[in-house]
Every structure is written in C-alpha cells, then in structure tokens.
Amino acid sequence: MSISATIAALQLRHAAISGVATAPAETPATLPDANCPCILVDPMEATTRWDAHRGSNRRAVVRRYRVRGLVLRAGLGTGVSQARTTAATLLDAVLAGYVAAPDLSSTTEILITEAEGVRDSGVRPHPGQANVIVHGDEGWVGFEVDLLIEERL
C-alpha cells in the first residue's frame, strides 16, 4: 500500500467510529467546528529493511503514522469538560479498533505487539498544562496516537 492508501484505510475505519464527525483522507488547512470531532492522520518517519526469505530479498517499510483526534478548540472556556470526556471515549474506540483488527491489507499491518507499536498521548491538554493538540495555528482538546505500520513488499 502507498502512504495515501494506508491513510485512506485508516480513515475508513476512523469514519465508522460512533461520534466521529469527519475523518478526511487529506488534512484540511482549516477545520470548521461542524466537522468535529475530527480524526486526522499524518505520515511520519520510516525505516526500510531487506529480509532474506526463501532465497530472495523482501523489502519491509515500517512507518510511523500520527493519528490526531480533534474535539474542541482549546481556550473557548465552555464545554472543555465534555470535550475531554468525548476525547477519552473516542480514544478508547480508536485503540480498540486497532487491537481488534491490526491488518489494513494482506501486506500491511499495525504492529500492535511491538514495543512502541501503538503509543497514545492520553487526552490533552493535561489538567493545568498548555500541551494542546495542534492543527494549523490553533490548539485543540483531543488526543494523539502514534502507530507503527509495516508494509511488506
């Protein structure tokens, strides 16, 4: 799968989660409130390795993808408690989906059993801290999940 196909497969899953308003395959420059809660996926760094398999070399690419769940713009002053609850519920659902079905295709899978294979930020911002989830130049109440996804070529 290409990077765009991997993102599309993840977003198809995310869009099916109850409570998710949008899960676009391409990251929008701005995000209207009506499109939230929204889940976005960004490709990050990758490592390519060659494995000898039955006399031939096979390539595997392991790439980190960052999944961002955006629920409410931070600093609005109202609804933050409810937004944190919504973010926690969505985070639980997202993680459960990865565990239940780690395969994105016959050659692509989320490495859920690997150390650092699935790592989440918890709901942010953490109480009393300014560590919001950033999209564009705005801070959001939400979560981040980093996934290691392996594609065997």
Using the predicted structure, report yes or no on whether residue 121 has a pLDDT greater than 90.
Answer: yes
Write out the residue range of the structural domain in which residue 59 sits.
Answer: 3-152
40 by DSSP, 3-state: which?
Answer: strand
Residue 150: band (very low, low, confident or very high) from pLDDT cuts 50, 70, 90: very high
Bond before 102 cis per omega within 30 degrees: no
Nearest to 67 by CA among 49, 48, 43: 43
Q: What is the pLDDT of residue 55?
A: 65
Q: Range with the lowest mean pLDDT among 85-94, 123-132, 136-145?
A: 123-132
Q: What mean pLDDT, rounded, does the chain reach?
A: 91
Residue bearing tokens 């993102």: 7
Bond before 37 cis per omega within 30 degrees: yes
Q: Range with the lowest mean pLDDT among 44-48, 61-65, 81-85, 126-130?
A: 126-130
Give the total number of structural domains in the chain: 1
DSSP assignment of 46-113 equals EEEEEEEETTEEEEEEEEEEEEEEEEEETT--SSHHHHHHHHHHHHHHHHHHHHH--BSSSSEEE-TT
- pLDDT tens per residue, range 64-99: 999 999 999 887 666 788 899 999 999 999 999 999
The span from the CA of 121 to the CA of 112, in Å, is: 16
- Residue 31 sits in a domain whose CATH number is 3.30.2000
Residue 50: band (very low, low, confident or very high) from pLDDT cuts 50, 70, 90: confident
CA 112 to chain centre: 13
Structure pTM? 0.90
| Neighbouring C-beta atoms of residue 109, cutoff 10 Å | 18
Q: What is the pLDDT of residue 128?
A: 67
Q: What is the pLDDT of residue 95?
A: 97
Q: Which two tokens stand for residue 146?
A: 């980093």
